[in-house]
Structure 1
Amino acid sequence: MMLTNRRRFLAASGACLAAGLLPISAARAQDAASKAGLLLPGRRDDGGFMQAGFAGFESATREMKAQTVIIDGVRPQKDELVAALRQIAAQGPSVIAAHGGQCNEAARIVAAEQPQIQFLVIQGGVEGPNLTSYEVLQEQSAWLAGAAAALMTKTGVVGHISGIRVPPGLKGRAAYAAGVAHAKPGVKLLTTFCGEQDDAALAAKVTVAQADAGADIIFTMLNAGRTGAIAACREKKIKQIGNVRDWVPVAPDVFIASAIADVSVAMSDGVTAALSGRLVPGQHVRLGVANGSAVRLAMAPDVPEAVRGVILAYTADIASGKIVVPTSYEGPEFSL
């Protein structure tokens, strides 16, 4: 689906712009103030980060009775993101939400061109007169995931797999590594950025390689590629910690926990505030473990009570500032 959407977008964008017709799923409205745009540099049904953002956008626009202009399946390349944002802006929405830190620069460019539109970047790090970032601090739940993995590993080796090296993924890896080291300093960490969020075969290959190197618990920060990691965990009889949403009910035989970073909360909050006129432009809004609906570690029912108690204490320490979660990692990486 992602490839099909991208091909349609790339092939049609130039001609459609010239003709005044746009290849976007849009419900056209007379009132521009009741229209919101969304850019997803990935699939809206990826089962992970993109789908969570799409769900938050749908919830907010449904509640606010706003018409929508949506483009998904765009590659996370600046030129393509800029072109997609310009297409959405041409439809006259009052707010455009770009999902993911990979949209930072594209949003900065198009926001400067369209001062009458309020731009949001979810998981972003940019601000401006009509540009606001909302960030769910997924590194806080990733830190808790690292602590849980270290406390529950039986081999003394844990893994981490992510796709592309965007700021949220890099922060999450750094936090996970810190959580491992804090909870049990002797545990070895294997960490890999495989280069693709949605490639199930590649995710399975990396999972098997880390399992063969001794990892018995792997923290995955993937989107559609997670299905491959789940299958490989079953094959190797090891456990996984998910991210963004709660994966324990989805595959209870594989997942022992999930580092919840519910970006749907940030998306919904931001879009609702913008459409209602309550948004203060130029802010950087952050949601962490102090907001348990957005950020927390969800644990499987069979996680030992002793581990649960330690994780709850760590959560309180992060919320209070007693534990400061790092966002950079200088350690070794695992290669195939």
Structure 2
Amino acid sequence: MRRVAKLSAACIATAALALSATACGSTSSENDKSSGSSGDGKGVKIGLAFDVGGRGDRSFNDSAARGADKAKAEFGGSVKELTAKTTDTEADREQRLSDLADAGYSPIIGVGYAYAQSMGKVAKKYPKTSFGIVDSVVDAPNVDSITFTEEQGSYLAGVAAALKTKKTHVGFIGGVDVPLIKKFEAGFVQGVKDTNSKIKVDTQYLSHGSDTSGFASPDKGKEAAQGMLDNGADVIYSAAGSSGNGAIEAVNGKKGAWAIGVDSDQYNIPGLAKYKGSILTSVIKNVDLGVYDVIKSVHDGKPQTGNSVYSLAKDGVSLSTSGGFIDDIQGKLDAAKKKIVDGSIKVKTTP
């Protein structure tokens, strides 16, 4: 169940530099949960350091949580969850990871690129502890870097948006303008333009730099989406954590408009059930698969390390079909996927 590819050390160093931007974590966490037994020697003590929003964001963090839940159900043991605040400093993130290591959790998984710098430091201090990080690359012998080709899934979302818009006008909402979210934008815009170059694409980011509130502000997402709808867009794709929930709500209030979800299959998220008739599709990012894989590797006594890349070809990213709203264009989406997988289409990672 490995489904991964290894990158060279040079690529790892480059990716680490590109993605070590800023962003989440905390000592006084918003959520501090433990589940399961304290460990009977047979299970795995899993430490989860969530990004802002934590479990219950109906998107990115929830996907990671599903992977941990599956592993716990299969292997036993316990799970400790700590959640970042938007006000966190680098010291907060480092302290959170250190607290989990001191308590004997292994693996410890940082859910989000913002943990890159702190994990690099903490992993060196605890060489016998296994770590995992989602969405960034940390070059350390006891760290598994779990990365995805978000731009490839987003390209397919762009194709779908281009084929479904009635107004030749679509929009993209990003949570924070960091390299990771730029990958979503780049793929989406390319997919739209490759399908119909005449389509207008509006782009908006909800926060910038070290301000990570854009990942946890549904009100900001709703306002941004409403502005795009008022400006004429009728398909809006959000890569903004729980802020995207607000965008979906706004789209649901506009007859004939479509929202495209992200990370989880948002059509099937209970908390979004009343809006599901407006969710065209979702770019599913199987964070749960990456989290499960690293936990399983530790359970099996062979901790996974290096850069584990989950691509479109390996089902690391995909488009959901729930609701049947893209059934009529599935053939064209399959054709685009085939071209990405065989290399005929090279998807950009920067706008």
Identity %: 25
TM-score (norm 2): 0.82
Among 289, 293, 298, the alignment partner of 2:312 is 289
* Gapped regions of structure 1 (runs ≥ 5): 11-22, 330-336
Deviations 1:95-141 (A, max 9, x none): 21111112111111111111111111022222211112012322211
CA contact (8 A) 1:53 1:263 kept: yes
* Gapped regions of structure 2 (runs ≥ 5): 1-24, 208-213
Q: Aligned partners of 1:215, 1:163: CA distance in 2, in Å?
A: 19
Partner of 1:14: none
- Give the residue type in structure 2 aligned to 1:239: W
Larger mean CA deviation between 111-120 and 268-277 belongs to 268-277
Q: Aligned partners of 1:323, 1:177: CA distance in 2, in Å?
A: 14
- Give the residue type in structure 2 aligned to 1:204: K
CA contact (8 A) 1:32 1:92 kept: no
Q: Aligned partners of 2:180, 2:27: CA distance in 1, in Å?
A: 27
Partner of 2:17: none
- Give the residue type in structure 2 aligned to 1:248: Y
SS of the counterpart of 1:163? strand
- Give the residue type in structure 1 aligned to 2:267: V
TM-score (norm 1): 0.85
Q: Is 1:255 matched with 2:265?
A: no
Among 25, 28, 39, the alignment partner of 2:34 is 25
1:30 is displaced (CA, Å) by: 6.0
Q: Is 1:149 matched with 2:149?
A: no
SS of the counterpart of 1:44? coil
Among 132, 136, 142, the alignment partner of 2:148 is 136
SS of the counterpart of 1:203? helix
Q: Aligned partners of 1:93, 1:32: CA distance in 2, in Å?
A: 13
CA contact (8 A) 2:237 2:260 kept: yes
Matches within 5 A, 1:204-215: 204-215=222-233
Q: Aligned partners of 1:217, 1:302: CA distance in 2, in Å?
A: 13
- Give the residue type in structure 1 aligned to 2:71: A
Q: Aligned partners of 1:280, 1:208: CA distance in 2, in Å?
A: 44
Partner of 2:3: none
Q: Is 1:40 matched with 2:50?
A: yes
SS of the counterpart of 2:267? coil
Partner of 1:333: none
Matches within 5 A, 1:182-331: 182-195=194-207, 196-237=214-255, 238-249=257-268, 250=273, 251-281=275-305, 283-292=306-315, 294-299=316-321, 300-303=323-326, 305=328, 307-329=329-351
User: Residues 159 and 91 (structure 1 numbering): CA distance in 2 closer, same or farther, change over 3 Å?
Assistant: same
Matches within 5 A, 1:69-218: 69-75=80-86, 77-195=89-207, 196-218=214-236
CA contact (8 A) 2:310 2:317 kept: yes
CA contact (8 A) 2:159 2:195 kept: yes
Q: Aligned partners of 1:125, 1:185: CA distance in 2, in Å?
A: 34
SS of the counterpart of 1:248? helix
Q: Aligned partners of 2:186, 2:158: CA distance in 1, in Å?
A: 10
1:7 is displaced (CA, Å) by: 8.4
Q: Aligned partners of 2:258, 2:218: CA distance in 1, in Å?
A: 17
Partner of 1:63: 74
